[in-house]
Amino acid sequence: DGGITQSPKYLFRKEGQNVTLSCEQNLNHDAMYWYRQDPGQGLRLIYYSQIVNDFQKGDIAEGYSVSREKKESFPLTVTSAQKNPTAFYLCASRPRGWFNYGYTFGSGTRLTVV
């Protein structure tokens, strides 16, 4: 079945460490997104990519980095510069040009700083 796979489901990070969250899709979607979810805050856009080798900052990009070397993959790195990284992270995708298409979401990664 087609979908988005996020891994790991749970991730623990020590202070000062960089960690990378994986997002893989087999939907042949061109656009991919990373959102952060905090309690009572809804979802906020971190980064997005509409095509391979191109990506744009969202509303809260500071302390995060991404790459898009393959259409299927859009990994998110949470760097040590991110002051409050504990959150739930969701990856999403959308077919190119389908602006009225509701995005498909992965099942998320819960990141906790220990």
The binding site for another protein (CB under 8 A) comprises 31, 33, 35, 40-45, 48, 50, 56, 58, 88, 90, 92, 97, 99-100, 102-103, 105, 107-108
In whole angstroms, how close is the CB of 46 to another protein at the nearest point? Answer: 10
Q: Could you list the beta-strand ranges (E) of the chain.
A: 4-7, 10-13, 19-25, 31-38, 42-51, 54-57, 64-66, 76-78, 87-94, 104-105, 109-113
C-beta of 45 vs 52, nearer to another protein: 45
C-beta of 13 vs 44, nearer to another protein: 44
C-beta of 17 vs 107, nearer to another protein: 107
In whole angstroms, how close is the CB of 78 to another protein at the nearest point? Answer: 18
C-beta of 70 vs 96, nearer to another protein: 96
Could you count the other beta carbons within 10 Å of the beta carbon of residue 65? 17
What radius of gyration do the chain's Cα atoms show? 13
Q: CA 97 to CA 67: how far, in whole Å?
A: 21
In whole angstroms, how close is the CB of 4 to another protein at the nearest point? Answer: 10
Max Cα-Cα span within the chain: 41
